[in-house]
Amino acid sequence: MLTEQFFIQGLGCASYLIGDEQTNTAAVIDPDRDVQKYLDAASERGLKIIHIIETHLHADHVSGNTELQHRLNTPTETAQIYLPRGADAKFPHIELQANESLTLGSVQIKILETPGHTPESITLLISDTARGAEPVLALTGDTLFVGDVGRPDLVGEDAARKLAGAMFDSLHEKILPLADGLLVYPGHGAGSLCGRAMGTMRVSTIGYERLTNPALAPRTRDEFILFNTSDLPEQPANNKRIKQMNRQGPRVLGKIVPRALNVAQALAQFQRGAGLLDTRAKANYVARHIPGAVHLELNDQLSNRIGMLLPPESQLVLLLDEPADYVRVAYMLARVGFENVAGYLENLEEWQARGYPVTSGDVQDIDPRELENRIANDSRLMIVDVREPWEFRNGHVPNAKLIPLGELHARYTELDPETPVAVICQSGNRSQTGAALLAQKGFKQVFNVREGTTGWKRRGFPIET
């Protein structure tokens, strides 16, 4: 038996290739849209992918199931897509039933229904029957993570308590009775918003989680329901649309090819309502950018944050540090449902040379010491903390106003655009995005606080809780 894990930094999504060396067949579990890595891994090992399995309908990323099937299908061969019973998917697939098994030669994949994160969530118990009948690993999807369990609120607040109760039952009646040494391969890891405190390890065991996972500490069912529905992080941006795309069947993207746009072509897109997404390094953006651009630096958080700033149906023109970044950015957008990329602006110098506007002074960096000085000398200064409520409660700059980054695009009207605004987060990363958004909305004087609340605390400045 062969097992390989694939992990997306930032989104924290894990997917898997399970293969059988005797029959040279394989299954891919929870694929994301950039499917070439599965095809390459299978090809390197001489495997033929015949099963594409989802552990549930995802809310944080668009699945690559239809994309992978499209790449694999030939006139004589078809890879099948499998979804759990109750997923209510609207595209061709095979429904998995409780206790059913799929096989890859001597590899057996048993279906264990484990509702909680979603009503249809399943766990896959994998056995290598050439060595023994007992399962060797569990692909737990979003039921059990390393150091956490799945959140129950992504299908709606009203259903959260019921699903939290189902999660308690799934864990205590189906997962925790399994053998201590059974390997746990979760569907998400650190960085994901599908839980709240996932560990950085990407593999664990049932025994280790039973001993160390805070979510599995002894609690009554009612106590667990309260625990599992309290202090949850922000929901993944655009989650309802992502879930609907996964239910309807994701559109096949095909090969993504960079499309360079000259100034005239970019202007035509802007006149039709396209937005400009600037993914260049922060220093390059601060030095010179096009007014009205949304700035999201190309890093692991781009997928998590784009839905906080733009509607998913937006037509986008990209501004890149390097043309080679195009495919990476396009996939990071497509993973969270942004499929309408017109191309990238090929030449910022030509844009400026032809007299179209650029700016550099709408966001200024300041450090915590300068923030303290400005607080003391300018009573008009508004401090906006764009962290999550639980972070804010753990300590914030006095008199700061909490507007989580995911809410800023809808709540910026609560602020006065004529008043100086200092945007702060934990480290200066989220705040840069928030500051750029306020500048885009026409705020006259915007500051980004480098080092964030961490730097403020390190200098011994006062903290409110």
CATH of the domain at 94: 3.60.15.10
Q: How many domains does the chain have?
A: 3
Q: Are residues 262 and 239 in the same domain?
A: no
The residue whose two tokens read 């992990």 is 7
Q: Are residues 287 and 209 in the same domain?
A: no
Q: Note whether residue 463 is domain-resident.
A: no
Of 247, 272, 307, the residue at which a domain comes to its end is 247
Distance CA 426, CA 404 (A): 12
453 is in which domain, residue-wise?
A: 363-458
What pLDDT, on the 0 to 100 scale, is given for residue 329? 97
Q: Are residues 393 and 451 in the same domain?
A: yes
Q: Are residues 410 and 339 in the same domain?
A: no
CATH number at residue 452: 3.40.250.10
Q: Note whether residue 103 is domain-resident.
A: yes
Strand 25-29 and strand 13-20: pairing? antiparallel
Residue among 298, 425, 438, 449 flagged as catalytic: 425
What pLDDT, on the 0 to 100 scale, is given for residue 404? 92
Q: Are residues 7 and 126 in the same domain?
A: yes
Phi/psi at 8 (5° precision): -105, 110
Q: Are residues 234 and 293 in the same domain?
A: no
Q: Note whether residue 273 is domain-resident.
A: yes
Q: Are residues 267 and 209 in the same domain?
A: no
Distance CA 369, CA 456 (A): 8
What pLDDT, on the 0 to 100 scale, is given for residue 406? 85
What pLDDT, on the 0 to 100 scale, is given for residue 447? 95
Q: Note whether residue 116 is domain-resident.
A: yes
| Phi and psi based region of residue 336 (left: phi greater than 0; alpha: psi -120 to 50; beta: remaining) | alpha
Inter-residue contact 375 to 301 (CB < 8 Å): no
Q: Note whether residue 358 is domain-resident.
A: no
Q: Are residues 302 and 269 in the same domain?
A: yes
Note the pLDDT tens digit of each residue in 186-238: 999 988 877 777 888 999 999 999 999 999 999 999 999 999 998 887 777 78
pLDDT along the chain (465 residues), means of 10: 95 96 96 96 96 96 97 84 96 95 96 96 96 95 96 84 96 97 95 79 96 96 94 80 96 95 96 94 90 90 88 93 97 95 96 92 90 94 93 94 91 95 93 89 92 95 94
Of 353, 375, 396, the residue at which a domain comes to its end is 353
Q: Are residues 201 and 114 in the same domain?
A: yes
Kindly report the CA angle at 177 between 172 and 180, in degrees rounded to 5?
125
Q: Note whether residue 451 is domain-resident.
A: yes
Inter-residue contact 444 to 418 (CB < 8 Å): yes
What pLDDT, on the 0 to 100 scale, is given for residue 254? 93
Inter-residue contact 405 to 385 (CB < 8 Å): no
What pLDDT, on the 0 to 100 scale, is given for residue 63? 98
Closest to 252 measured CA to CA, from 3, 64, 4, 52: 64
Q: Note whether residue 465 is domain-resident.
A: no
What pLDDT, on the 0 to 100 scale, is given for residue 46? 96
Q: Are residues 97 and 243 in the same domain?
A: yes
Of 200, 228, 247, the residue at which a domain comes to its end is 247
What pLDDT, on the 0 to 100 scale, is given for residue 273? 92
Query: What letters, b where the CB count within 10 A reaches 16 and e where it falls short, cover 84-97?
Result: bebbebeeebeebe
Q: Are residues 228 and 283 in the same domain?
A: no
Q: Note whether residue 443 is domain-resident.
A: yes
Average per-residue pLDDT for the chain: 93
CB within 8 Å of 414: residues ≥ 6 apart: 401, 403
Residue 194 bears catalytic tag = no
Determine if the pTM surpasses 0.95.
no
Q: Are residues 172 and 29 in the same domain?
A: yes
